[in-house]
Amino acid sequence: MDKVAYGWNADEMHREHPHLSLAQLHAALAYYYDHQSELDAEMERQAREFEQLRDDAVASGGQPSRDELLRRAKERGIKL
């Protein structure tokens, strides 16, 4: 729900994602707000894991391929 962080409302999201109905967007927002702490914690965890993978890639001195990054994530039990 990164769009919520930018202050977008359902109408603004609908303009960006017209394939979703306003009812679907309102349902998603309701679910997000009902579970905000858990969802925010999960998004933060994923961001930290991404940063760690990126830092590892920089430290290794090379630009790893997508397959290499996925392999590293799998080794660490990271769900992408």
Question: Does residue 79 share a domain with residue 41?
Answer: yes
7 with 22, same domain? yes
Same domain, 43 and 77: yes
pTM surpassing 0.85? Answer: no
CA–CA separation, 71 vs 78, rounded Å?
10
Q: Which helix (H) or strand (E) holds 44?
A: helix 36-59
Question: Mind listing the pLDDT tens digit for each residue in 46-73?
Answer: 999 889 888 887 888 777 788 888 888 8
Shared domain check, 74 and 53: yes
Clarify whether residues 28 and 62 are in a common domain.
Answer: no
Looking at the predicted structure, is the pLDDT value of residue 3 above 60? no
Into how many domains does the chain fold?
A: 2
Q: Are residues 42 and 66 in the same domain?
A: yes
Tracing tokens 């729900």 back to the chain, one arrives at 1
Q: Residues 15-40: pLDDT tens digits?
A: 989 999 999 999 999 999 999 999 99
Q: Please name the residue that has the structure tokens 């990271």.
A: 78
Domain boundaries, position 47: 37-80
Asked whether residue 77 falls in the same domain as residue 48, the answer is yes
